[in-house]
Amino acid sequence: GQQLNQSPQSMFIQEGEDVSMNCTSSSIFNTWLWYKQDPGEGPVLLIALYKAGELTSNGRLTAQFGITRKDSFLNISASIPSDVGIYFCAGQGFDRGSTLGRLYFGRGTQLTVWP
Amino acid sequence: DGGITQSPKYLFRKEGQNVTLSCEQNLNHDAMYWYRQDPGQGLRLIYYSQIVNDFQKGDIAEGYSVSREKKESFPLTVTSAQKNPTAFYLCASEGASTDTQYFGPGTRLTVL
Protein backbone atom coordinates (compact mmCIF):
# COMPACT_ATOMS: atom_id res chain seq x y z
CA GLY A 1 0.00 0.00 0.00
CA GLN A 2 0.93 3.62 -0.28
CA GLN A 3 2.90 5.08 2.61
CA LEU A 4 2.37 8.41 4.31
CA ASN A 5 5.06 9.83 6.57
CA GLN A 6 3.64 12.16 9.20
CA SER A 7 5.83 14.23 11.49
CA PRO A 8 6.42 14.97 14.19
CA GLN A 9 5.13 11.92 16.03
CA SER A 10 4.42 14.00 19.14
CA MET A 11 4.58 17.61 20.26
CA PHE A 12 4.58 19.20 23.69
CA ILE A 13 3.88 22.91 23.58
CA GLN A 14 2.72 25.73 25.81
CA GLU A 15 -0.65 27.38 25.41
CA GLY A 16 -0.45 30.24 22.93
CA GLU A 17 2.30 28.74 20.79
CA ASP A 18 1.87 27.93 17.13
CA VAL A 19 2.06 24.34 15.88
CA SER A 20 3.10 22.90 12.56
CA MET A 21 2.91 19.30 11.33
CA ASN A 22 3.27 17.76 7.91
CA CYS A 23 2.76 14.69 5.80
CA THR A 24 4.74 13.44 2.84
CA SER A 25 4.05 10.62 0.43
CA SER A 26 5.87 8.74 -2.29
CA SER A 27 2.65 8.81 -4.33
CA ILE A 28 0.53 11.58 -5.78
CA PHE A 29 -2.81 12.19 -4.16
CA ASN A 30 -5.85 14.05 -5.48
CA THR A 31 -7.21 14.87 -2.06
CA TRP A 32 -5.58 15.62 1.27
CA LEU A 33 -7.56 15.56 4.51
CA TRP A 34 -6.70 16.47 8.08
CA TYR A 35 -8.54 14.90 11.02
CA LYS A 36 -8.42 15.35 14.78
CA GLN A 37 -9.16 12.50 17.17
CA ASP A 38 -9.98 12.89 20.85
CA PRO A 39 -9.31 9.92 23.16
CA GLY A 40 -11.85 7.14 22.68
CA GLU A 41 -13.66 8.94 19.87
CA GLY A 42 -13.74 8.77 16.10
CA PRO A 43 -11.66 11.19 13.99
CA VAL A 44 -13.34 14.46 13.10
CA LEU A 45 -12.62 16.16 9.80
CA LEU A 46 -10.85 19.49 10.18
CA ILE A 47 -9.88 20.53 6.67
CA ALA A 48 -10.22 19.03 3.19
CA LEU A 49 -7.93 20.01 0.31
CA TYR A 50 -8.79 19.17 -3.30
CA LYS A 51 -6.36 21.13 -5.46
CA ALA A 52 -2.58 21.32 -5.67
CA GLY A 53 -1.35 24.55 -4.09
CA GLU A 54 -4.62 25.11 -2.26
CA LEU A 55 -4.35 26.92 1.07
CA THR A 56 -7.39 26.61 3.30
CA SER A 57 -8.18 27.97 6.75
CA ASN A 58 -10.67 26.89 9.38
CA GLY A 59 -10.48 29.28 12.32
CA ARG A 60 -7.01 28.94 13.84
CA LEU A 61 -6.17 26.05 11.52
CA THR A 62 -4.50 26.44 8.15
CA ALA A 63 -3.61 23.62 5.78
CA GLN A 64 -1.97 23.49 2.38
CA PHE A 65 -1.97 20.96 -0.45
CA GLY A 66 1.59 20.78 -1.77
CA ILE A 67 2.35 21.74 -5.36
CA THR A 68 3.88 18.33 -6.05
CA ARG A 69 0.68 16.67 -4.70
CA LYS A 70 2.89 14.52 -2.50
CA ASP A 71 2.74 16.55 0.69
CA SER A 72 0.56 18.65 2.95
CA PHE A 73 0.99 20.63 6.15
CA LEU A 74 -1.29 21.73 8.96
CA ASN A 75 -0.66 24.77 11.14
CA ILE A 76 -2.46 25.64 14.36
CA SER A 77 -2.04 29.18 15.61
CA ALA A 78 -2.28 30.35 19.22
CA SER A 79 -2.88 26.87 20.63
CA ILE A 80 -5.34 26.32 23.47
CA PRO A 81 -5.77 23.36 25.84
CA SER A 82 -8.69 21.90 23.84
CA ASP A 83 -6.36 21.45 20.85
CA VAL A 84 -4.98 18.39 22.64
CA GLY A 85 -5.48 15.22 20.66
CA ILE A 86 -4.11 13.18 17.78
CA TYR A 87 -3.99 14.79 14.37
CA PHE A 88 -4.04 12.57 11.28
CA CYS A 89 -3.33 13.38 7.68
CA ALA A 90 -4.93 11.30 4.95
CA GLY A 91 -4.45 11.20 1.21
CA GLN A 92 -6.90 9.73 -1.25
CA GLY A 93 -5.54 7.35 -3.84
CA PHE A 94 -6.65 4.42 -5.97
CA ASP A 95 -5.68 0.77 -5.72
CA ARG A 96 -4.74 -0.84 -9.01
CA GLY A 97 -7.86 -1.93 -10.92
CA SER A 98 -10.24 -0.18 -8.55
CA THR A 99 -12.44 2.80 -9.26
CA LEU A 100 -12.96 3.49 -5.58
CA GLY A 101 -10.68 6.04 -4.03
CA ARG A 102 -9.47 4.97 -0.62
CA LEU A 103 -7.75 6.92 2.10
CA TYR A 104 -4.21 6.28 3.27
CA PHE A 105 -3.47 7.60 6.74
CA GLY A 106 -0.40 8.92 8.45
CA ARG A 107 0.40 7.52 11.90
CA GLY A 108 -0.71 10.68 13.63
CA THR A 109 0.80 13.54 15.63
CA GLN A 110 0.01 13.51 19.33
CA LEU A 111 -0.35 17.11 20.52
CA THR A 112 -0.10 18.05 24.18
CA VAL A 113 -0.74 21.64 25.22
CA TRP A 114 0.41 22.86 28.64
CA PRO A 115 -1.56 25.69 30.22
CA ASP B 1 -29.94 13.69 13.88
CA GLY B 2 -27.82 12.62 10.93
CA GLY B 3 -24.56 10.79 11.01
CA ILE B 4 -22.83 7.49 11.59
CA THR B 5 -23.57 5.35 14.62
CA GLN B 6 -21.60 2.44 15.95
CA SER B 7 -22.74 0.14 18.69
CA PRO B 8 -21.87 -0.83 21.24
CA LYS B 9 -19.22 1.64 22.46
CA TYR B 10 -17.45 -1.06 24.47
CA LEU B 11 -17.57 -4.79 23.80
CA PHE B 12 -16.04 -7.66 25.72
CA ARG B 13 -15.82 -11.19 24.39
CA LYS B 14 -14.16 -14.42 25.33
CA GLU B 15 -11.39 -15.77 23.15
CA GLY B 16 -12.70 -18.04 20.42
CA GLN B 17 -16.06 -16.33 20.04
CA ASN B 18 -17.20 -14.48 16.94
CA VAL B 19 -18.51 -10.97 17.51
CA THR B 20 -20.34 -8.55 15.21
CA LEU B 21 -19.89 -4.79 15.35
CA SER B 22 -22.67 -2.59 14.08
CA CYS B 23 -22.32 0.44 11.79
CA GLU B 24 -25.28 2.44 10.53
CA GLN B 25 -25.40 5.68 8.56
CA ASN B 26 -28.28 7.90 7.50
CA LEU B 27 -26.21 10.16 5.26
CA ASN B 28 -27.27 8.34 2.09
CA HIS B 29 -23.60 7.59 1.41
CA ASP B 30 -22.75 4.85 -1.05
CA ALA B 31 -19.32 3.90 0.29
CA MET B 32 -18.60 2.53 3.75
CA TYR B 33 -15.36 1.47 5.40
CA TRP B 34 -14.04 -0.39 8.43
CA TYR B 35 -10.73 0.51 10.04
CA ARG B 36 -8.79 -0.90 12.92
CA GLN B 37 -6.75 1.37 15.19
CA ASP B 38 -3.98 0.23 17.50
CA PRO B 39 -1.88 2.57 19.64
CA GLY B 40 0.78 4.36 17.60
CA GLN B 41 -0.23 2.69 14.34
CA GLY B 42 -2.81 5.00 12.84
CA LEU B 43 -5.76 3.57 10.96
CA ARG B 44 -5.57 0.37 8.94
CA LEU B 45 -8.24 -0.56 6.42
CA ILE B 46 -10.05 -3.86 6.99
CA TYR B 47 -12.86 -3.88 4.40
CA TYR B 48 -14.71 -1.37 2.27
CA SER B 49 -17.87 -1.33 0.22
CA GLN B 50 -18.70 0.91 -2.68
CA ILE B 51 -22.25 -0.26 -3.19
CA VAL B 52 -24.85 -2.60 -1.75
CA ASN B 53 -23.97 -6.30 -2.07
CA ASP B 54 -20.38 -5.53 -2.99
CA PHE B 55 -17.29 -5.21 -0.80
CA GLN B 56 -13.52 -5.41 -1.10
CA LYS B 57 -10.74 -6.52 1.20
CA GLY B 58 -8.50 -3.87 2.64
CA ASP B 59 -4.99 -4.28 3.97
CA ILE B 60 -5.78 -6.46 7.01
CA ALA B 61 -8.93 -8.45 6.10
CA GLU B 62 -7.79 -11.82 7.48
CA GLY B 63 -9.98 -12.95 10.36
CA TYR B 64 -12.77 -10.48 9.53
CA SER B 65 -15.93 -10.66 7.45
CA VAL B 66 -18.53 -8.11 6.35
CA SER B 67 -21.87 -7.85 4.60
CA ARG B 68 -23.62 -5.01 2.81
CA GLU B 69 -27.25 -5.99 2.42
CA LYS B 70 -28.54 -2.47 2.93
CA LYS B 71 -27.09 0.90 1.94
CA GLU B 72 -27.34 2.14 5.52
CA SER B 73 -25.64 -0.77 7.22
CA PHE B 74 -22.17 -2.34 7.06
CA PRO B 75 -21.65 -4.78 9.96
CA LEU B 76 -18.22 -6.22 10.70
CA THR B 77 -17.74 -9.68 12.18
CA VAL B 78 -14.54 -10.37 14.05
CA THR B 79 -14.07 -14.12 13.82
CA SER B 80 -12.16 -16.48 16.05
CA ALA B 81 -9.54 -16.68 13.28
CA GLN B 82 -8.41 -13.12 14.04
CA LYS B 83 -5.29 -13.65 16.13
CA ASN B 84 -5.23 -10.33 17.94
CA PRO B 85 -8.73 -8.85 17.89
CA THR B 86 -8.46 -6.43 20.82
CA ALA B 87 -8.48 -2.97 19.23
CA PHE B 88 -10.50 0.16 18.54
CA TYR B 89 -12.70 -0.28 15.45
CA LEU B 90 -13.85 2.66 13.37
CA CYS B 91 -16.51 2.78 10.69
CA ALA B 92 -16.64 5.52 8.06
CA SER B 93 -18.79 6.50 5.11
CA GLU B 94 -18.31 8.64 2.04
CA GLY B 95 -20.71 10.27 -0.38
CA ALA B 96 -20.15 10.08 -4.11
CA SER B 97 -19.68 13.82 -4.47
CA THR B 98 -17.57 14.60 -1.43
CA ASP B 99 -14.27 12.64 -1.66
CA THR B 100 -14.33 12.90 2.13
CA GLN B 101 -14.83 10.19 4.73
CA TYR B 102 -16.78 10.78 7.92
CA PHE B 103 -16.23 8.57 10.93
CA GLY B 104 -18.43 7.03 13.57
CA PRO B 105 -17.58 7.18 17.29
CA GLY B 106 -15.88 3.78 17.30
CA THR B 107 -16.22 0.51 19.19
CA ARG B 108 -13.55 -0.68 21.56
CA LEU B 109 -13.38 -4.47 21.49
CA THR B 110 -11.59 -6.33 24.24
CA VAL B 111 -11.11 -10.07 23.97
CA LEU B 112 -10.45 -11.75 27.29
pLDDT digits (tens, 9 = 90+) for A39-90: 899 999 999 999 999 999 999 999 999 999 999 999 999 999 999 999 999 9
Given an 8 Å threshold on Cβ–Cβ distance, is B48 in contact with A41? no
pLDDT above 70: residue B51:
yes
Mean pLDDT, rounded, for A20-39:
93
Q: Which of B7, B17, B97 is nearest to B63 (CA)?
A: B17
A21 at B interface, C-beta within 8 A? no
- DSSP states of B22-76: EEEE-S--SEEEEEEE-TTS-EEEEEEEEETTEEEE-TT-TTEEE--SBTTB--E
Nearest Cα of chain A lies from the Cα of B81 at a distance, in angstroms, of: 23
Mean of pLDDT over chain B = 92
Task: Write down the pLDDT at residue B39.
Answer: 83
Q: How many other C-beta atoms lie within 10 A of the C-beta of residue A7?
A: 14
- The span from the CA of A58 to the CA of A35, in Å, is 12
Q: Which residues of B touch A86 (CB under 8 A)?
A: none
Residue B8 — pLDDT band, cuts 50, 70, 90?
very high
